[in-house]
């Protein structure tokens, strides 16, 4: 091989090697950056499936005994929140144990509070729930922040055809303030609410209901909240 040809071949080989090494380093760097940016999926914070009374049937919500999760506290909210009823049966997939807003003559709802912990609903936090509705009613997710602000999300759920499970990403929600006395929305969208320390999570029906029969109401059965827990101030134990 001529000296000139040998030099050219050597240079070309070096160029190919440099390009290959550069591409490998870039790909590896992108992979490392991607791994560093990975967000951990939020763990289960609490789950509630309601606890029917031995007598069963339809009846006012007995707050001390309505919860199957002893770490939770239940609050009925709105001017006629105490008119929410419990009905259904755990063994009936067509009518599972649930809270029903049918007798509420104003907007009403409820929230659940974990006794020992608040929850961080940032990142990949989710809310899952099983619902059914009638008429134009929907189940609107609601939260109470650590500063006492009550918010309602723009992601209502509810099928009139059957009980369906919804799985909602909190990061995709926008929020408006709720007047806790009247349970109506106030003001414009809340920009960047602090969801890192949420005190209570629940749902609201923003319309007065029609009573028994088809007309307008919501049913809320199983609820699951996925988010990172943080010790509540003044609590001596963790979840």
Give residue-wise pLDDT tens across range 119-133: 999 999 999 999 999
Beta bridge partners of 195: none
Q: Exposed, middle or buried: residue 128 (CB in 10 Å: 0-12, 13-18, 19+)?
A: middle
Mean pLDDT of 156-179: 97
pLDDT, mean over the chain: 88
Is pLDDT above 50 for 179? yes
Beta bridge partners of 164: 131
Distance CA(207)–CA(183), nearest Å, equals: 10
Is pLDDT above 80 for 82? yes
The predicted pLDDT at position 8 comes to 47
Mean pLDDT of 56-85: 97
The predicted pLDDT at position 40 comes to 82
The DSSP result for 126-140, as a single string, is EEEEEEEEETT--BE
What torsion, rounded to 10 degrees, do the Cα atoms 165, 167, 173, 178 define? 40
The DSSP result for 35-81, as a single string, is HHTPPPPPPEEEEE-----TT-SSEE--TTTS-S-TTEEEEEESTTG
Is pLDDT above 80 for 200? yes
Is pLDDT above 50 for 11? no
Least trusted range by pLDDT, from 20-29, 72-81, 158-167, 198-207: 20-29
Which among 156, 151, 148, 155 is positioned nearest to 176, based on CA atoms?
151
The predicted pLDDT at position 238 comes to 41
Distance CA(212)–CA(116), nearest Å, equals: 38
Write out the H or E segment, with its range, that includes residue 5: helix 3-36
**Could you count the other beta carbons within 10 Å of the beta carbon of residue 78?**
25
Strand ranges for the chain from DSSP E:
44-48, 59-60, 72-77, 85-87, 98-100, 108-114, 117-120, 126-134, 140-145, 150-153, 164-169, 175-178, 185-186, 198-205, 217-226, 228-231
CATH number attached to the domain at 44-231: 2.60.120.260
Residues in the chain: 239
- The model's pTM is 0.81
User: Are 79 and 182 in contact, with CB atoms under 8 Å apart?
Assistant: yes
Q: Please give the share of the chain, as a percent, with pLDDT higher than 90.
A: 79
Distance CA(83)–CA(98), nearest Å, equals: 14
Is pLDDT above 70 for 30? no
Mean pLDDT of 164-180: 97
């Amino acid at each position: 091989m001529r000296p000139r040809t040998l030099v050219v071949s050597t240079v070309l080989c070096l160029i190919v090697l440099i390009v290959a090494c550069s591409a490998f380093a870039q790909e590896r760097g992108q992979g490392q950056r991607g791994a560093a940016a990975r967000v951990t999926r939020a763990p289960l914070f609490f789950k509630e499936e309601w606890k029917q009374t031995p007598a069963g049937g339809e009846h006012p919500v007995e707050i001390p005994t309505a919860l199957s999760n002893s770490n939770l506290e239940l609050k009925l909210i709105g001017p006629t929140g105490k008119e929410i009823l419990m009905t259904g049966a755990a063994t009936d997939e067509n009518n599972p144990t649930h809270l029903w807003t049918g007798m509420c003559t104003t907007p009403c709802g409820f929230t659940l509070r974990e006794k020992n912990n608040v929850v961080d609903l940032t990142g990949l936090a989710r809310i899952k729930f099983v619902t059914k509705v009638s008429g134009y009613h929907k189940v609107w997710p609601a939260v109470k922040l650590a500063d006492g602000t009550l918010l309602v999300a723009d992601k209502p759920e509810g099928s009139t055809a059957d009980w369906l499970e919804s799985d909602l990403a909190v990061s995709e929600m926008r929020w408006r303030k709720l007047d806790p006395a009247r349970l109506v929305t106030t003001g414009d969208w809340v920009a960047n609410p602090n969801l890192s320390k949420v005190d209570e999570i629940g749902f609201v029906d923003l319309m007065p209901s029609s009573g028994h029969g088809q007309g307008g109401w919501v049913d809320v059965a199983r609820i699951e909240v996925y988010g990172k827990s943080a010790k509540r101030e003044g609590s001596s134990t963790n979840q």
